[in-house]
Chain A
């Protein structure tokens, strides 16, 4: 729960000694409420008050980091139940489970396939985030396999095992790599927790119901474990969504600290379509990490695209800089296609122009990130606006012809635009998929 300035003021010494750099305790309290200063600036705060304030300023869902370096995965810090209320902040991690019972070459093959799972959509890179090794064989084989995996991937690593001897050896191999351990239960946490602490690993707390889960995380806290993720075991999709929803609600709305951690879900379905449907459900509904078994480019591309959609800021659609973009070996005879600066519009047009192999200019008009039709309806994509952009961005200086191509959906403005701009207006196709044949037949 966030405190107001006045709530904080009540906890301060009220001596107005100015040592914090503010004229009064109240002024300092106001800044604290805005999170503009650190509580450490007041040397006279009582330990009790400090504790209360520190915990109140913690995010309701803890930020958890797994792995190190550029590919580290950070999840948590979520603040809403529905994306339209603000946004979902930290895209959930997508990872793959590999059994240690596979041969070394099978494991290598899987890692090689995982390494290829990197895509680019609407100007963003989409990557997978985790490799989780599961112990099926003995401790020796597990450690061996962990060594193999950690030598071949730079992705964060998860360890799926409840065998503390095996885990210890594996963690020695992964020293300083901030691994993820799956899992601590009511039965084994006294053995597993010390390992998580010693090796600074994130520990998944697992219990079939929220009551026991909450008790377990509190026990772990007592043992000094702070980096925790939550798991409620094997369930049907709807039961799982119920758990994930309750966990997020209780953390956000009841400030329940014992459930204030991101959740992890493991999927156990052989069919890649069915596995993807289940994963998609958890991408939509609050899972922090989702672990899959199938490694298929088409499946991963679709899931990462869904994650990108769900985690896009609804208030700030992805935009690109309004500009005249030359695509391919353009010259002064190249056609000029007009679109908006909504990333999706631009990149869709770009993809088709590239596919056409016809060198073309794309002029992106500043529509504040709205798509063609939305912008037209909101009067951000008008003949005036387009004429202005054409003049400002030097289209006349770039090409020697006088033709502009507008999207088929705004054919209705062609007359007015022709008048306002003095250019000849050609109506292009409605759907971007029509662009290649349109350009080739121009």
Chain B
């Protein structure tokens, strides 16, 4: 009996978001990256184009992180007081093609830097490295509404990805980013309807849907990963079936989530049955990333250079088919 394959036909398509402006585009980046553009579910190349590989941004902070585990401190600790060198190291030594900078120094508990100081820092960073930038606030809402618009202006024309906009706090950011030509991160708490609504609200502010990247707020492996996994699958199915309001690429903060869980941090003396701690932390970041790639992640923000190297290799292999 001949075996007919069963092919899905999708009418929808994920929008393509470009991060980084080269000189030709009016910016100063050496290259730009493209995410999204899928016309098929992850890996199913035979059913529709998957033109852009999942990209990885190295996460750096502009203030010394206090809760990063030793495994990461060993690697980055000597740069914590000098974020520009930290950024350069990621690009030069670890071959980062994109950086995600968290403006933690603006946080009241981490130095309380002003909007002007953060804008100045972004200018210096743009001079120091030529890769596309993702810029994240410090997590203090009132502070972020001040620093992010200032940084948006400082990076005008460089087409960064900046966030996060949330349901109760998107207007100032959306207006600023739209004026300066950037992309926005729309963050929704593992809820597909909020994700849709927020995308509509933001596009009403003048930022087109093609400028939005969804942050579905993931949990780490073993800590709620499956919620984001299924929300992403559902959103992808809806988008491919033609719902434009969720047809945005996904950004996933893999490093941040996976390096805070016990399995990634606890030492081997305390939990001998869990195996070596160095490898355990790295595999936790790696498998969180792997599962999310299978659910449709487009941009991963990660921390450990070896985890990033392995995931890059994995992404290459996915394209061999």
Q: Which residues of A contact B (CB under 8 A)?
A: 82-84, 116, 119, 121, 210-211, 213-215, 218, 236-239, 241-242, 245-246, 249-250, 253-254, 256, 258-259, 272-274, 276-278, 280-281, 284-285, 296-299, 301-303, 305-306, 308-310, 312, 314, 344, 348, 351-352, 355, 371, 373-374, 377, 431, 433
Contacts and interface: CB of A to CB of B under 8 A. Distances in A.
Q: Which 5 A-B pairs have the closest CB atoms?
A: A297-B275, A298-B275, A238-B321, A298-B280, A309-B226
Contacts, number: 161
Contact of A238 (B265, B306, B318): B318
A254 B273 CA distance: 45
- Chain A, interface SS category: helix
Interface of B: 1-3, 5-6, 43-46, 67, 189-190, 221-226, 229-230, 233-234, 237, 260, 262-263, 265, 270, 273-276, 279-280, 282-284, 286-287, 290-291, 294-295, 306, 310-311, 313-314, 317-321
B310 A301 contact: no
A109 to B, nearest CB: 16
Contact of A237 (B224, B226, B273, B318): B318
A284 B291 CA distance: 7
A210 B5 contact: yes
Given A239-B321, A284-B294, A301 B314 contact: no
Contact of A301 (B226, B260, B280): B280
B287 A302 contact: yes
Contact of B221 (A254, A309, A371): A309
A239 B318 CA distance: 9
Contacts of B311: 277
B1 A214 contact: yes
Given A241-B44, A301-B280, A302-B287, A309 B229 contact: yes
Given A211-B2, A301-B274, A302-B286, 15 more contacts: A82-B230, A84-B230, A239-B321, A242-B44, A249-B6, A273-B282, A273-B286, A274-B314, A276-B283, A277-B310, A299-B275, A302-B280, A302-B283, A374-B190, A433-B262
Given A273-B282, A273-B310, A305 B222 contact: yes
A328 to B, nearest CB: 16
Contacts of A253: 6
Contacts of A301: 263, 274-275, 280
Contacts of A272: 279, 283
A280 B288 CA distance: 9
Contacts of A273: 279, 282-283, 286, 306, 310
A310 B295 CA distance: 11
B273 A241 contact: no
Given A211-B3, A237-B317, A274-B310, A298 B226 contact: no
A83 B1 contact: no
Residue with the greatest number of chain A CB neighbours at <10 A, chosen from B2, B43, B190: B43
11 contacts: A84-B233, A210-B5, A241-B43, A250-B3, A280-B294, A298-B283, A302-B221, A306-B291, A309-B222, A433-B262, A433-B265
Contacts of B275: 296-299, 301
Given A297-B275, A298-B279, A309-B222, A280 B290 contact: yes
A372 to B, nearest CB: 11
Contacts of B286: 273, 276-277, 302
A205 to B, nearest CB: 13
Contacts of A308: 222
Nearest to B227: A314
Residue with the greatest number of chain B CB neighbours at <10 A, chosen from A214, A218, A238, A299: A238
A82 B279 contact: no
Contact of A258 (B1, B5, B262): B1
Contacts of B290: 276-277, 280-281
